[in-house]
Structure 1
Amino acid sequence: MLHSNLLRLVARGSSSRLMSTATKLTTVEVNDETGIATLTMNRPPVNSQNVQLLLDLQASISEIENNKSRGLILTSAHSNVFSAGLDIFEMYNTDVERLRTVWTELQNVWIALYGTSLPTAAAINGHAPAGGCLLATACEYRVMRPNFLIGLNEAQLGIIAPKWLMSGFTNVLPKRVAERALTQGRMFTTQEAFEAGLVDEIASSKEEAVEKCAAFIGSFAKVNPLARGLTKLQFRADNIKEFEKIREKDVADFAALASSPEVQKVMGTYLENLKNKGKK
């Protein structure tokens, strides 16, 4: 954990400017005193990742890199969900080309976030299953509110998480723990995630989570940003190179699997269960 004095120092600055409102599903706000950008997802009700949200995330990450921000904090506008992952409505009862598009844009968001040289942190202010966990683990630091769930639960939907998707997960968890969690489709509570090392800190509110993320980014204030960024990318280079080699095949494999009758049936059952829950 970071020293509380540093947290207070970074938290003093509250002056900020809204940089991006053109994209409807994400906003970018830059703190003028710290130079840190907060990227907020806002696709009600649960930030499920449709093609538009994925495109907006890419545009916002690029904007933050271009405006020379000192770091990026990813969070959600919703009180109980960080991101519910890929929008199953985008994948259920649709054509193969749409499946290819959805998966390609998810790949593009991951490489933009995982491969940026900027310091990155996720203020996880709600549940983060599947693609939500993917976004969080693509960041370097994670702070999560209590009593929520995070994990890669693809196995429960009959989907196989490819190696690139697992890479952020396996970067922060011991291999044995990661393997068991992935094969079980396990969802960690906030406390379990903290104890396992999947998240770095727990915060009582979104505001505190953002402050702790800002403190993490602020800890690099006296480090040469070019040296810091290149060092980070050296750690991630092998995963990125492996991803680039297989990305086209990965899209084809996902489209074939997701369009199969077996997986479509699982998705249909899942959506029906959600519908029934909503009636109660």
Structure 2
Amino acid sequence: MALRACLRTKPGLTGLLSQLSSCSSHGAAHMSPALVAQRRSSSTSQKIKVDFDQSTGVAVMRMQSPPVNSLSLEFLTDVCIALEKLEMDKSCRGLIVTSSQPKVFSAGLNILDMYGKSPEHCVEFWKAVQEMWLKFYGSNMITIAAVNGSSPAGGCLLSMTCDYRIMADNPRYSIGLNETQLGIVAPFWFKDTMINTVGHRTTEMALQLGLLYSPAEALKIGLVDQLVPEDQVLTTATETMTKWLAIPDHARQLTKSMMRKPTIDKLTSNREADVNNFVKFITKDSIQKSLGMYLEMLKRRKA
């Protein structure tokens, strides 16, 4: 679901196809020894880097899967492992998610995990997408998305799972759930997440038309919470985190759970049916044809 409108904001994204084709397998993220002098620990995989400052209780997760941080099966697995490790460390109270790639936060789900793949692979891929959402949306940590580039489709979903979203104020960037532009339907929990963020009517219009919003438009509808100059996104996220950390954890966590539990429970109780629906839909000849046409377009743009 990495989308064509995003390609217009950054011509270099046409390298998406070659990057997706060369995804390699790798093991779980490995935690490096604590740097006692700085009270920091770091975890690095091929696709993400996590730095945890134990003195502040805040971790920064940098997505670093060039060129566009597409959410592949391997990428999603790395993210889930890293998030689970942070959740298990009770000293970690907050997480900032950002991108190491210029001009893009995340271009969304990896098309090549959905095109020409066996139903079994599609099952594993969609389970990983579900797991990523469940871990982020239900996290006890304070989560802030430092959106420093375009964030269509799955990238938008990832940002919406966070408690607060700060976006670079650059009109060339865009954010939104534009699945329908590819002939794909956003599942109910994508829809519910957006409804919880911007309201029912705005979500209905956005999903039917596959709208991508400029940063200013996204701020107006509440899809993001704050706009700052591009070079201040991470700094502002760090400053904002300090305000959230001032709230007692137990009160904030219970309130977050109260607000999000119905949405989480809806997916939890329907995970298998959701997987089956996805696989049935994505393996349809018409959908595979649509995805194939999109990949051919990427090839032509790259040529």
TM-score, normalised relative to structure 1: 0.90
Aligned residues: 263
Structure-2 separation of matches of 1:239 and 1:116: 13
Is 2:247 the partner of 1:247? no
- Other-structure match for 1:164: 189
- Other-structure match for 2:281: 257
Could you tell me which amino acid in structure 2 is paired with residue 25 of structure 1? K
Is 2:197 the partner of 1:202? no
The answer to whether the 8 Å contact 2:54/2:92 transfers is no
Q: Secondary structure at the match of 1:231?
A: helix
The answer to whether the 8 Å contact 2:41/2:54 transfers is no
- Other-structure match for 2:69: 47
Structure-1 separation of matches of 2:291 and 2:188: 22
Q: Once superposed, what is the RMSD of the aligned Cα atoms? A: 1.4
Quote how far apart the aligned CAs of 1:33 are.
4.4
Could you tell me which amino acid in structure 2 is paired with residue 108 of structure 1? E
- Other-structure match for 1:58: 80
Could you tell me which amino acid in structure 2 is paired with residue 88 of structure 1? I
Q: Secondary structure at the match of 1:98?
A: helix
- Other-structure match for 1:74: 97
Could you tell me which amino acid in structure 1 is paired with residue 261 of structure 2? A
Structure-2 separation of matches of 1:70 and 1:85: 27
Is 2:168 the partner of 1:138? no
Quote how far apart the aligned CAs of 1:204 are.
1.3
Structure-2 separation of matches of 1:131 and 1:220: 26
- Summarize the alignment of residues 78-157 of structure 1 with structure 2, pairs less than 5 Å apart: 78-145=101-168, 146-147=170-171, 148-157=173-182
Quote how far apart the aligned CAs of 1:16 are.
7.0
- My pick for the range that moved more, 251-260 or 194-203, is 194-203
The answer to whether the 8 Å contact 1:16/1:29 transfers is no
Could you tell me which amino acid in structure 2 is paired with residue 262 of structure 1? S
Unaligned runs of 5+ in 2: 1-37
Structure-1 separation of matches of 2:52 and 2:285: 46
Unaligned runs of 5+ in 1: 1-14
Structure-2 separation of matches of 1:161 and 1:262: 17
Structure-2 separation of matches of 1:205 and 1:74: 15
The answer to whether the 8 Å contact 2:71/2:106 transfers is yes
The answer to whether the 8 Å contact 1:42/1:77 transfers is yes
1:149-186 alpha-carbon deviations (Å, 9 max, x no partner): 11111111222111212222111212111110001111
Percent identity over the alignment is 37
Structure-1 separation of matches of 2:192 and 2:235: 27
